Amino acid sequence: MHMSATKLVGVLAIGGALLTSTACGPLSAITGGGDKDAACKNIRTELSSVQSKIASPDVSNPGASSAANAQTFRDTASKIRSEGQKAGGDVETAAGKVATGLESLAGSMSNPGSGSTTGTSTFIKDAADLGRACGFSGM
């Protein structure tokens, strides 16, 4: 079973909401780490903006919108991975997992018959882990 574009946007919105509400939270103010703080803010911004970058389905050419959205997810994954590398440590590890999840979603969009929804809960968990790595202590 493949993941619909609507469900995919929902998953990203949930992941982005988790990160928006948790990234760069109270602990980062105590522990410092300018590179970590900046990286977490950039990751949060990137995830929060994904939904606005999603192309609406084109009934006359559905492959075009799927390809464009898959590229959006790949680009987002690349930026998140890069920001994670700047932060290092737990943020880098967690950002890498979120980026891998986005790349997997992009692959599912590129090849709709091969995707499944099994990665949804993993993506949400990875986004929550990234929020914690960025300093949120409430989870």
pLDDT of residue 117: 53
Return the axis-axis angle of helices 62-87 and 89-110, rounded to nearest 10°. Answer: 170
Domain boundary assignment for the chain: 5-133
pLDDT of residue 113: 60
pLDDT of residue 86: 94
Residues near 26 by Cβ (< 8 Å), separated by ≥ 6? Answer: 135, 136, 137
Residue 104 CB neighbours (<10 A): 18
**What 8-state DSSP symbol labels residue 119?**
H
pLDDT of residue 96: 96
pLDDT of residue 28: 44
Low-confidence ranges of the chain (pLDDT < 50): 1, 21-32, 138-139
Q: Side chain identity at 104, as an amino acid letter?
A: S
pLDDT of residue 139: 39
Q: What is the pTM of this model?
A: 0.75
Per-chain mean pLDDT for the chain? 77
